[in-house]
Chain A
Amino acid sequence: MFNINVFYHIGRYMLMMRHLFRRPDKMSMYWKETARQMNDIGVGSLVIVGIIAVFIGMVTAVQFAYQLRGSSVPMWYIGYIVRDSMIIELAPTFSCLALAGKVGSNIAAEIGGMRQKEQIDALEIMGVDTAGYLVGPRVYASIVVIPMLVILAAFMGIIGGYIASQLSGFISDQEYRQGLLYIFNTRNVTMMLVKSVVFAIILTSVSAYQGFYVKGGSIELGHASTQAVVFSNILILLADYLIALLLT
């Protein structure tokens, strides 16, 4: 039964995603909706992503300072570790996990609400490609803005690491900068961007899927919203592992 359900959902998800590759009914309408979504997802998430990244950077710096204390590894390595940890793993993964909670649940609730109020039926009767129009712009918008948010998160995390190291005084300003400038591999940035694009597609499309096919009332809508966050988070972490295997 579990296997049948899994294949049923995968199949239906694929059928929904197929609409993203169809020619839009009216490009200007899709563009307008994509711009609106870019604003909602991007601008609306700046603060939360920034705050989370600063604290993650601070915690990373403090934890590594604790680990390096008494070892033969120089303390200026903290800057290096914070930088690469943020770029390779923490900025894309933590930001997208947080966005799955904020943006993903919002997408599921918004589309699910439209389904329950018969707005999706109304669009369908007009002749609109509903999956393409409702899911497509959200996915396209996230592919553009989520990598930008992740880049911002990486910067904010590095700043967070600097703040923590200065507040606790375990390394000097100059030592932190020395670590930041130590061996920089641009491949890590590529990996960050690949992850952010893949995670963006996962979190928006999985959440949209949960909302698009919701049935029932407010309890089911709440359930769909929760499922959107849970499945997005699990799939983001699975994808994180697969990308790490492929790109490292």
Chain B
Amino acid sequence: MIRCENIKKTFGEQEVLKGISTIFEPGKTNLIIGKSGAGKTVLLKLLVGLFAPTSGDIWYGDVNFTKLSDRERKAIRTQMGMLFQGSALFDSMTVEENVRFPLDMFTNLTKKEKQVRVDETLERVELTGSNQKYPSQLSGGMQKRVGIARAIILGPKFLFCDEPNSGLDPTTALTIDELIQGLTVEKNMTTVINTHDMNSVMEIGDHINFIDKGELAWFGNRNEVLESTDERLQDFIFASPFLQRLRDAALGKKSQSV
């Protein structure tokens, strides 16, 4: 479990996060949603330690991550995996080399053991046979799968995904969502996803943190989204008239059936 306690972050004069307190639970897909500029990416970067909070604490289990030195953080970082918005694959390495990189760097497994682990992981993300391809030869969806494979190869306890669906068509985005959710349950990981994709919210949002103007404006799950009376959340989720009509239709159907 990851716990944030009154996290604040300022850049110069600008206060980007104004005291966020929340929890991210294991075995669940925990979403951070909000408009562009709301502070989602900053919160995610604080969670993984790429930024330091101005004040407040981040707890990984019973360890206060914010108080650790760089060297002490390393132990927790080996339990983290992260999927980046642009996948962040190493261009000069093949798919196999990209996925194997954490094993090469942090384990003493034999070449054969590593190969078995890489093949299993690539099979799990449905990329069997792409071992020798370079990132530039892959589609956006395949690059995300390689990114996921690299993130989970060491069996992390914590998985972070920054906009996993950006730049993907709705069908591919859905398969990526299902893959992340499946892995989360299978490996009992604490998964934190930063997204503004509404399909993801409604499909895989076990715990949803809605950030607005640097504050945690709403917290709940995907079933509670429709019935929420929070105006800011409703304005964000059902931004278009089309989605508003869909919501009204869904709510109408629900009340009729009741």
> A residues within 8 Å of B by Cβ?
25-26, 28-29, 117-119, 121-122, 124-128
Could you tell me if A127 and B84 are in contact, using CB atoms closer than 8 angstroms? Answer: no
Interface assignment of B85: CB less than 8 Å from any CB of chain A: yes
CA distance A119 to B81 in the complex (A): 13
- A62 to B: closest C-beta gap in Å: 43
Q: Which residues of A contact B50 (CB under 8 A)?
A: 121, 124-125
Q: Is the CB of B48 within 8 A of A125?
A: yes
* Cβ–Cβ contact B105 & A29, under 8 A: yes
Distance to closest chain B CB from A37 (angstroms): 12
Per-residue interface assignment for chain B, residues 151 to 180, with 1 indicating a CB less than 8 Å from any chain A CB and 0 otherwise = 000000000100000000000000000000
Cβ of B84: which chain A residues have Cβ within 8 Å of it? 118, 121-122
Question: B105 near A118 (CB under 8 angstroms)?
Answer: no
- Our pick among B78, B88, B106 for the contact of A122 (Cβ within 8 Å) is B88
Q: Bin the interface of chain B by size.
A: 20 to 34
> Which has the most chain A C-beta neighbours within 10 Å: B73, B77, B85, B160?
B77
- Chain B contacts with A in 72-111, Cβ cutoff 8 A: 73-74, 77-78, 80-82, 84-86, 88-91, 101-102, 104-106
CB distance from A82 to the nearest CB of B (A): 41
Contact A117 B106, CB 8 Å, known A125-B48, A127-B74, A127-B78: no
With A117-B88, A119-B88, A119-B90 already in contact, the answer to whether A125 and B106 are too (CB < 8 A) is no
Q: Is the CB of A126 within 8 A of B78?
A: yes
Interface of A is mostly: helix
Q: Is the CB–CB distance between A25 and B86 below 8 Å?
A: no
Q: How far apart sit A176 and B117, CA to CA, in the bound complex (Å)? A: 65
Which residues of B line the A interface, CB within 8 A? 48-50, 73-74, 77-78, 80-82, 84-86, 88-91, 101-102, 104-106, 150, 160
**Who on chain B is nearest to A124 by CB?**
B50
User: What is the distance, in angstroms, from B27's C-beta to the closest C-beta of chain A?
Assistant: 21
Assuming the contacts A125-B48, A125-B77, A126-B78, asked whether A118 and B104 have C-beta atoms less than 8 A apart, the reply is: no
B-side contacts of A121, CB under 8 Å: 50, 82, 84, 88
Q: Quick one: closest A residue to B90, CB to CB?
A: A119
Q: Report yes or no: B86 in contact with A117, Cβ–Cβ below 8 A.
A: yes
How far is the CB of B106 from the nearest CB of chain A, in Å?
A: 7
Cβ-defined contact, A126 with B77, below 8 A: yes
**A25-B105, A26-B104, A126-B105 given; A118·B88 CB < 8 A:** yes
Known contacts A121-B88, A122-B88; decide if A29 and B104 are in contact (CB<8 Å): yes
Closest to A116 in B: B86
Question: Which B residues are CB-close (under 8 A) to A26?
Answer: 104-106
- Given A118-B88, A119-B88, A119-B90: A128 and B82 within 8 A (CB)? no
CB nearest neighbor in B for A122: B88
Can you give 13 A-B contacts (C-beta < 8 A)? Answer: A25-B106, A26-B105, A29-B104, A117-B88, A118-B84, A119-B90, A121-B88, A125-B48, A125-B50, A126-B102, A127-B73, A127-B78, A128-B105
Question: Known: A25-B106, A26-B105, A128-B105. Contact between A118 and B85, CB under 8 A?
Answer: yes
The smallest C-beta distance from B121 to any residue of chain A, in angstroms, reads 15
Chain B contacts for A128, CB-based, 8 A? 105
Residues of A within 8 A of B77 (CB): 124-127
Nearest Cβ on chain B to A25's Cβ, whole angstroms? 6
Which chain B residues lie closer than 8 Å to A25 at the CB level?
Answer: 105-106
Given contacts A126-B80, A126-B102, 7 further A-B contacts (CB under 8 A): A25-B106, A26-B105, A117-B88, A118-B84, A122-B84, A122-B150, A125-B49
Contact of A118 among B49, B81, B86, B160 (CB under 8 A): B86
Q: A117 CA to B92 CA in the complex, in Å?
A: 13
Instruction: Output the nearest chain A residue to B160 by Cβ-Cβ distance.
Output: A125
Interfacial chain B residues near A118, Cβ < 8 Å: 84-86, 88
The answer to whether B106 touches A127 (Cβ under 8 A) is yes
The 8 closest A-B pairs by CB, nearest first: A127-B77, A122-B88, A118-B88, A127-B74, A118-B84, A125-B82, A127-B78, A119-B88
